[in-house]
Structure 1
Amino acid sequence: MKKWLGIILTLVMLFSITSTALAAEKSNPWVDMPKGHWAYNAIAKLAQDGIVENSDNADKILTRYEVAKIVAKAVAHEDKANAEDKALIKKLSQEFSKELADLHVSISSIDQKANKINFGGILILKYDHQSAGTTPNWVFSTFNPKKYTPMQVEGCKFVLSANYRVSDIWTIQTMGEFTRDFEDVVSNGTGLTSGNRDETKGMWVSGNFPGYRMNIGRYPYKDATYGFVLDEFLSGAQIILGHPAQPGPGPGAGAGPSVTLNFGKIDQGYNLMNWRGLPSSWSFISSYAQNDPLFSDSAPGISSADIAYPLSPKTNLTADYIHLTSSDDSTSSKSFAVVGFDTKLSKNVGLKAVYSKSNYSTDNKGYMVGLTYKGAIPFVPHSWGAYLNWTKAEANSTISTVDYDIEDCVYGAKGITVGYEYVPRPGVIYMARYIHMVGTTSGYTDYKNDFIRVAALIPIF
C-alpha cells in the first residue's frame, strides 16, 4: 500500500510541475491551435455548407481567438444551418465558450435554459467469420491445432446513451446495449457467445470542476496506452487531472498533459484475461486457464494511474500502472505496467507503439506497433482511413482488451490486424477488419485464429 501511495503521489507531483506552464498556455487565447485539431475539420465543413466564409488558406494555423471569431459568425448564421451543422456549431461553442465569452457572444446552444436531457443511439450491423483451433480448456477438449472450427455470426447491436444535466457541474450518464445475433450460436454448437444479450453497460455521475473532472459509478475506462491492456467498465471512482484528449495519431493529439486515477473494481471477472463473451456460469474456465484465483468468479479490485503527456502537437507519450487484487483472496494481486508512444510521420501517416509487462512469472510481456493512414471522420462524407497493427501479447500481458482482438488467454497471441473504415454520409461508418493470430505459449505455437468482421455503424438519433 505504501509503495502504491508513493507512486500516486509521484505522478501527481510530476503532473503539477509539468502542467503549470501548459495550463497557462491553454488559457492564452493567442496560443496556436495544434494542426490536426478536430475544430479545423468542423470549420471546413461549415465553410463548405456556406455557414462561414471559406478561408483563402485552408492549411493556415489559427489561434484559439481566431477560431472563436469564426465560431461567433457561425452562431450568427445558425438559422441557415441544417441539423448536422447545428450540432457542429454547438460542439464548437462548447469548446471555445471561454473565448466566446470574452467576445461577449450570446450563444443559444449553450444557454442555461437548454434542454437538460439528451439521447443518442447507434445501430451496428455486423458479420463475423472466425476459424480457430480447438481449445484444451473448453471443458474436456484436447488441443488439436490442425482441427479448426469455423464460426459465422450475423447480428446487430443497438447502443443507447442518455445524459441528464443536473447542474453546471454534475451530469448523470447511462449507456445500454441490446445485442441480437441472427442465430443462437450456442444452441447450434458453433461458438461460446449467447445470441441475445441486453444489459446496462454503465451508469455514472460526472462532475466537471476547474482543473479536474470526476466520474463516480460504473463508467467506461480505456487505458491511456490505447486500450492495449484494459478496455472495460469499472465500478468506483475516477479522477481526471488536466485536459486529456483521446490518445493516438490525428485529431485530438497534443491537447495537454493529464493524469487519470481509478479506484474500484472491474465487473464481470469472467470476462477478463480476454475470455470475452463467456456466460457467467462458465467463469471457472477462465480461472482454470489462468490457474489464478484473481479471476475466479470475482470482480477484481483495481487501482490505476494513467499519464498522457504531449511532447508536441504531433507526438504523445503515455503510461499506465494497473494493480489488481482479488475480492475472494486478499493475498492474490497482480500488477501491469505499460508505456506507449504515438506520432504523426506526415500529414496522413501516423505511428503508435506499446510495451506492457506484468509481474506474472512467465508469459508476461506484450508489444504492439501500429500504422494509420488518413482517418474516417464521422461528420465528413467520403473520408476514410486504414490501419495495420502488429501485435505480440503473451498470455499474462493484458487483462481485457477490445481493439486488438487478442482472443485467447491460454496461448497468447501474435499476428496482424488490418482494417479499413469509410464514411459514405455524415454519421455512418462502414468498416472491415481482418485478424490473423498464432499462439505464443510454449507447446501451443501451432494454434491459429483467423477472424473477419464486416460492419456498419448507423446513427439512429
Structure 2
Amino acid sequence: MNKKMAAMMVMGGIMGTSASAMAAANPFSDVPADHWAYDAVVKLAADGVIEGYGDGAFKGNRNITRYEMAQMVAKAMAKNTAGADKAIVDKLAAEFAEELNNLGVRVSNLERNADMLKWTGELRYIFQRTNNEGAADKSHNRAELRLFPTAEVNDHWHVKARITARNDMKNDTTTNATLTYIYAEGAYKNFTVAAGKMPLSSTNDEGLVVDDFFSGVQLTFGRKLQTVLEYGRWNLGNSTVSKNNAADYQGIQFNYNSGKVFAGAGYRHLSSDSFKGITGVSANEDNFNIWSAGVNYRFDKNFSLAGAYAQNSSADDYAKAGNICLNYKGINRKNPGTWGAYAAYRYIGRNASLASTYNTISFGGHNRKGWEIGASYVPFKNVTTDIAYFHGKQLLDGKDSNTLFARARFMF
C-alpha cells in the first residue's frame, strides 16, 4: 500500500482529539514522503494501534503535515500499547514532542518510561557591532552554551533549569558555568503554577517591556484566554538600570490567542531605590508602574503584523516604548530550507522598555528609535541562522546609531 495513502487512512481516527486542538493554527511544514515516520505509522495501522475510517476508505490524497502526524501519535499514545508497538509510539512521540505540546498533549508517560531526567541544549555563536555617532564602535563576539535539564517529579510536576557558559572569542576568555534559572512547575487542566527563578517575559506585548528572569511565584490560568499573575524579586543587573540589586516585583497580564489574532495587556509594578535619580526619573521616585499592550494579526500563512506599546507612568522622560513589525513566513528548525524575514520600526525609551527581547536593542543599547530589518534561515536540521540590522537615532541627542547582529544556533 502506498505509504502516504496508508497514513491518510488512519488520520480519521484522530479527528476527535480535541475541539480546541483542531481549531489551532497549523504552522508546521509537510512531513517528507520518505520520512521514517510514515513507515512507523503504517506499521501501527497494520497492527491496529491506529484505526482508519469506519468504511476502511481514505479521504483524498494530500500531503500530511507534522500537525496531523502529531494527532495520529496522540491517538496511539492514548492506547497504552506494549512491546514493539510501544517502542514505535515512544519514538514518534519524541520526534513530534513540540507539536504534541502545541496540541496540549503531555508526553509524561514517555518521559517517565524513558528517563526521569532529560537534557537538551544549544550552542550559540553571536556577533554584534554598534556604532554611535561621535563614539568609538563597540563589538561583541562570543560563543554561548546553554544546557536545559528537565526532571519529572510526577504526572503534573517537573523541575526545569538552565545552565549557561560563555566564551568571549575576541579576548579568548571563558566564564564559569552558571545556573541561569531553576524552578518547579505544576501543570493542571486549567492552570499552571511555577515557583523558583524562572523566565520573566511580557508576552502581552511580545517582549517589549522585559525578557529576563525573576525569583518568585507565577500563576497562569486559562488557555485561549489567559491570565498570568507574578510576584517576587527581579535583579536589575540585566535591565536598563544596570545596577546589580533586586527590585520588588508584581505583575499581571492578560492574553488572548485565537490562532489568527493574539492580543494582550499587562501591568507591572517594581520598587527599588535604584530608580531614584536615573536619567528621566526624579530623585525621590523609587517605584516604576509600567502599562503595556500588544496585538499580532496573522493575515495568512505568510504574513503577520504585530504592534505593541508601553508606558511608565512614574517616569518623566524616556517613559514610552513602541514597536510595529511586519513578518513574512518563518522558520521551522527541523525543516531545512525554511526561512523568514521582517521589517520593524522601534521606539525604545529606557524607562518603559527595561530589558526588551529585541537582539539589536539588548546588545546595542536602549533609548533609541529607528528601523530594523532581519531574516532567519535553516541551513540544516536543528541549525538556525539570524541576521538583523538596526539604523536610527539616539533619543538623548538625536545622533545616528546603528547595530548589526548575527547569530548561529545549534540545537540538540
Same fold (TM over 0.5): yes
CA shift digits 1:123-153 (9 cap, x unpaired): 11122222224xxxxxxxxxxxxx2312333
1:333 aligned onto 2:320: no
Q: Which structure 2 residues correspond to residues 113-128 of structure 1 after superposition, within 5 A?
A: 113-128=113-128
Change (3 A) 1:212 1:327: farther
Change (3 A) 1:218 1:165: same
Any stretches of 5+ residues in structure 2 without a counterpart? 1-15, 43-57, 277-283
Amino acid at match of 2:169: F
Change (3 A) 1:361 1:59: farther
Cα distance in 1, alignment partners of residues 216 and 250 from structure 2: 10
Secondary structure class of the residue paired with 2:332: coil
| Counterpart for residue 398 of structure 2 | 445
| Counterpart for residue 265 of structure 1 | 233
Cα distance in 1, alignment partners of residues 229 and 238 from structure 2: 22
1:355–1:366 CA contact under 8 A, matched in 2: yes
Any stretches of 5+ residues in structure 1 without a counterpart? 1-26, 101-106, 134-146, 186-193, 244-255, 276-282, 284-296
1:299–1:327 CA contact under 8 A, matched in 2: no
Q: Which structure 2 residues correspond to residues 27-426 of structure 1 after superposition, within 5 A?
A: 29-30=18-19, 33-34=22-23, 36-38=25-27, 40-41=28-29, 44-45=30-31, 49=35, 50-51=38-39, 52=41, 56-58=61-63, 68-69=71-72, 71-72=74-75, 87-92=94-99, 110=110, 112-133=112-133, 147-184=134-171, 196=175, 198-224=177-203, 225-243=205-223, 256-267=224-235, 269-273=236-240, 275=242, 283=243, 297-310=244-257, 312-326=258-272, 332-359=286-313, 360-403=315-358, 405-406=360-361, 412-426=367-381
2:93–2:110 CA contact under 8 A, matched in 1: no
- Give the Å deviation of 1:334: 1.2
TM-score of the superposition, structure 1-length normalised? 0.69
Change (3 A) 1:89 1:354: closer
Cα distance in 1, alignment partners of residues 373 and 86 from structure 2: 41
Cα distance in 2, alignment partners of residues 81 and 425 from structure 1: 26
Amino acid at match of 2:357: V
> Alignment RMSD, CA only?
3.6
Change (3 A) 1:128 1:411: closer
Secondary structure class of the residue paired with 1:270: helix
Amino acid at match of 1:332: D
Cα distance in 2, alignment partners of residues 302 and 271 from structure 1: 15
- Give the Å deviation of 1:213: 0.6
Structure 1 window deviating more from structure 2 (448-457 vs 116-125): it is 448-457
1:388–1:416 CA contact under 8 A, matched in 2: yes
Cα distance in 2, alignment partners of residues 156 and 32 from structure 1: 38
Change (3 A) 1:209 1:46: farther
Change (3 A) 1:357 1:129: same
Cα distance in 2, alignment partners of residues 236 and 397 from structure 1: 22
Amino acid at match of 2:22: M
Cα distance in 2, alignment partners of residues 316 and 125 from structure 1: 31
Secondary structure class of the residue paired with 1:45: coil
Secondary structure class of the residue paired with 2:343: strand
Change (3 A) 1:389 1:408: same
Q: 1:428 aligns with which of 371, 379, 383?
A: 383
Secondary structure class of the residue paired with 1:160: strand
Cα distance in 2, alignment partners of residues 331 and 131 from structure 1: 32
1:456 aligned onto 2:390: no
2:165–2:174 CA contact under 8 A, matched in 1: no
- Give the Å deviation of 1:87: 2.4
Query: Aligned pairs, how many?
Result: 363
Cα distance in 1, alignment partners of residues 70 and 291 from structure 2: 39
Cα distance in 1, alignment partners of residues 140 and 407 from structure 2: 12
Cα distance in 1, alignment partners of residues 19 and 237 from structure 2: 51
- Give the Å deviation of 1:110: 2.6
- Give the Å deviation of 1:197: 6.0
CA shift digits 1:382-404 (9 cap, x unpaired): 11111111101223221111325
Secondary structure class of the residue paired with 1:110: helix
| Counterpart for residue 137 of structure 1 | none
Secondary structure class of the residue paired with 1:423: strand
- Give the Å deviation of 1:28: 7.9
1:90–1:109 CA contact under 8 A, matched in 2: no
Structure 1 window deviating more from structure 2 (345-354 vs 430-439): it is 430-439
Amino acid at match of 2:94: A
Cα distance in 1, alignment partners of residues 237 and 70 from structure 2: 48
Cα distance in 2, alignment partners of residues 80 and 59 from structure 1: 19
